[in-house]
Amino acid sequence: MENLNFVLMGNSLSGLTQIWNVESAHTGIGLGSVKWYAPWRRYAFYPSPALFDSACLQEVARFLDGQMTVRAQDRLTR
C-alpha cells in the first residue's frame, strides 16, 4: 500500500470479524474504517468526510478483496 495505512484496531463486539482504521500514509489523518457489513456479508469501507482519488479507492478495493480472501481461507480451516 502506498497512500493508505490500514491499522488493525481489534475485533468487532461479536469477536467474529476485525475492524481497521484507514489513515493517510502521508499525514496520518483518519479517512474512515473497514469493518464487516452483515447485510452484504462482506467487509465494507465506511468513509469519513474526506476526498479520495482513484488510486486511494483502488487501494481500498484491494484491501477489501484481500480480507475477503483471508476470511474464506479461515472458514475452510475451521
Q: What is the dihedral of CA 27, 59, 67, 34, to 10 degrees?
A: 50
pLDDT at 17: 95
Which residues are CB-neighbours of 50 under 8 A, at least 6 positions away?
A: 29, 31, 32
pLDDT at 1: 54
Q: Could you tell me where the beta strands, DSSP code E, fall in the chain?
A: 4-11, 18-24, 30-37, 42-47
Name residue 33's amino acid. S
pLDDT tens for each residue of the chain, 78 residues long: 589 999 999 999 999 999 999 999 999 999 999 999 999 999 999 999 988 999 999 999 999 999 999 999 988 887
Give the predicted TM-score (pTM) of the model. Answer: 0.87
pLDDT at 78: 74
